[in-house]
Amino acid sequence: MNPIHPISKECRDRGILIHTDAAQAFGKVSCRLEDMGDPDMVSLVGHKVGAPKGIAALYVRPKCYQENGRGLPHNHGILLLGGGQEHGRRGGTENTPYIVGMAVAGALAVQTLTENAEKMESLRGRLLDKLRSELKDANIQVRPNGPKDLSQRLPNTLSVGLENIHSGDLLAEISDKVAASAGATCHSAAGVSAVLKAMKVPDNFARGTLRLSVGPKTTPAEVDRAARLIARAAIDQAQMDTI
């Protein structure tokens, strides 16, 4: 058996539990426990890999609640009173078809993980390049958010800030054409999210942050069209601001 990750070991020695939210990582990068740093708990979401919406999974390391003098949560962690399903923590008959659907979707995602990750990473890079190209003449700078080491980013997701653009207004203009999110940016003009602040993203880019995703079935033509629509809306907004 391989030794656990040093950070996880120190946390366990100090009586600290580690939970990893792997909802976005599922099907994009390895979710093997050793590859994620040996966390105590992991959350996975089914629809991220093609399973029906409404099914998820929570891994809990055996006996982690009893270590370091720790006791079980109040009422033994019961979330929904009822029968003895889910080890007595959530009463109610399990949704077997959805559980099986998530298991099959997860298995298929693992089989094609490397191939899909390489394809999505290429499309993500194409999307960033196209946005920069479309906005270059308008002097609207494009700033990707995240680690400088591209291998540390999810291969399918692009978090990008458009200089002096308000993402909420932009999304309102293109929402019927492009599925995108304002991501971790502000939801009003009142401020910027704590996440982007912690990442030291400048305000003039943070307010224009978009979260864009590609998938295994996304085509280069779809990426190019999305970049044109986003750029056109950003340019329209910039021109309106100068009037």
Q: Is 186 a catalytic residue?
A: yes
Q: Which of 11, 31, 64, 186 is catalytic?
A: 186
Q: How many residues does the chain have?
A: 243
Q: Which amino acid is at 167?
A: S
CA dihedral 123, 127, 133, 137 (to 10 degrees): 170
d(CA 109, CA 156): 14
Token pair for residue 116? 């899909």
Q: Which sequence positions are flagged as catalytic?
A: 186
